[in-house]
Structure 1
Amino acid sequence: MARKVLAAQPFSVLLDARLTAFGDGEAAVELDIRDELRQQFGSVHGGVLSYAADNALAFAAGSAVGSRVATAGFSIDFLRPARGTLLRAHAHVVRAGRTRVACRCDVTTGDADGPQTLCAVAQGTIAVLAD
């Protein structure tokens, strides 16, 4: 079901994003780094990092409270340039309440077979939507 939700997001399809982990209050979104996703200095654009963190936060919350969620707000800190061939955003629930879910996310980059480098951290509040 979660992969169907991701596939229904046109922007996620444009980026060719993949949901590689989902369940028990955690989620991971991955995408291959291509030249079109870089900024003028060769690093992955901050908007792409933000997208990955936002979606990972929301999917982590959804794995804990159900699929009717939407991001209420999030902040992201860019720690170092994002380089490599693979971008991964891994989020987990800090606290799931009745109407809001607090989550944290690490965004890493690297090569598929090599070590990952932490390039951004994010935290967010996800709203649980009424039926």
Structure 2
Amino acid sequence: MLLIAVIGMVFSPISVRAQDEGVTAKEIQTFGEELQGEKVKMTATLHEVDDQWVRLKLKDDRFVGFFVHDSKGDLFQYAFASKEKYGRTLLQMSRGEPMLLTGTVRSVGGTYVLLVDDIQR
């Protein structure tokens, strides 16, 4: 039996993840405070465009809201991007279409969200 002890080492959730995998929905929800203000990437597939959280959380109609499934298949409902830059692009995409999101984690109304700066298809 092999026993490995790690004493005095602290691992952040980010440091133990493969770099190209990006953050997951659960990481943003669970470790949002640690991630707040950080630029992150998320490998995802589009679920749907939906502005319900724009109206209820952001209260800023310059953004479009959309739901995605992360690299583990978990639903993330709090992705927001510039409506001017990405609104039409998102509406033209099909459910399940892959994308790479780059953005910043922020706390909005007690919920950790991803404010997306870039969407790569």
Which structure: larger Rg?
2
TM-score (norm 2): 0.30
TM-score (norm 1): 0.28
Which structure has more strand as a fraction of its residues? Answer: 1
